[in-house]
A = this chain, B = another copy of it.
Amino acid sequence: MLSQINDKAIVHVVDDDASMRGALEGLFDSVGLDAHTYATARDFLAAGLADKPGCIVIDIRLPDMNGLDFQAQLIDIGVRLPVVMMTGYGDITMSVRAMKRGAIDFLPKPFHDQDMLDAVMAAIERDRQRRTVEGDISQLQQRFGTLSARELQVMQLVTAGKMNKQVANDLGISEITVKIHRGAAMRKMGAKTLADLVRMAEAVKPKG
């Protein structure tokens, strides 16, 4: 799970045109990128590699599904791989829709190899950064998971700025018990100071 961050990035190419698949595979190989190709959206999903680091290059015209719909579906099912769209017959409306949904680039065919490489490199970099940030947060969330119900309550009130006695009052328990839970929360979270704990609480909160 955490090792994914160090996995080598994979470039997934989804295009019904076999010659294009071959050309792109050769292009990515030539710069040392690991490329997987698929003729259909279904093939990509069946491969089960959607959680690994990398990005996905999608042609607008696919046998089983419109490329834009595929992009939307990926978002729906939680696949966060950055998308590079390409097409031979697209129009402005399509490109704008893809970009609004967060596509890294939208390349009309024929494109220059370098443009595709630039887009893919940017996509991989974005994916890497996202995984780094989310990895840190999931690590924190994991630690949060080790907190007991009481410890979590106490921690929330403490990081909100309340004093031990206020927390005790709010929870209907004694101050000494609050201190115990507070200390336990600090230990479990790996926070050496209250400032650390506050930052941890802030980092996890906005996520959801």
Interfacial residues, chain A to chain B (CB-CB below 8 A): 90-93, 95-96, 99-100, 105-106, 108, 158-162, 192-196, 198-199, 202
CA distance A159 to B194 in the complex (A): 9
A193 near B92: Cβ-Cβ < 8 Å: no
What's the number of copies of this chain in the assembled complex? 2
Q: Are A195 and B99 in contact (CB under 8 A)?
A: no
Instruction: Give the complex CA separation of A207 and B21 in angstroms.
Output: 43
- What's the minimum C-beta distance from A110 to chain B, rounded to whole angstroms? 13
Q: How far is the CA of A108 from the CA of B159 in the complex (A)?
A: 51
Q: How far is the CA of A159 from the CA of B197 in the complex (A)?
A: 11
- Grouping DSSP codes into helix (H, G, I), strand (E, B) and loop, the A interface class, with mixed when no group exceeds half, is helix
Contact between A96 and B93 (Cβ–Cβ < 8 Å)? no
- Are A159 and B99 in contact (CB-based, < 8 A)? no
**CB-defined contacts of A158 to chain B, threshold 8 Å:** 195
Select the residue from A92, A158, A196 with max chain B CB neighbours within 10 A: A92
B193 touching A161, Cβ below 8 Å: yes
Q: Which residues of B contact A193 (CB under 8 A)?
A: 161-162
A99 to B91, CA, bound (A): 14
Tell me the complex Cα distance, A92–B160, Å: 49
Nearest-CB residue, chain B, relative to A87 = B92
A84 to chain B, nearest CB (A): 11
Tell me the minimal C-beta distance from A168 to chain B in angstroms. Answer: 16
Which of B105, B160, B192 makes the CB contact (< 8 A) with A195? B160
Contact A161 to B195, CB < 8 A, known contacts A100-B105, A105-B100: yes
Chain B nearest CB: distance from A118 CB in Å?
11
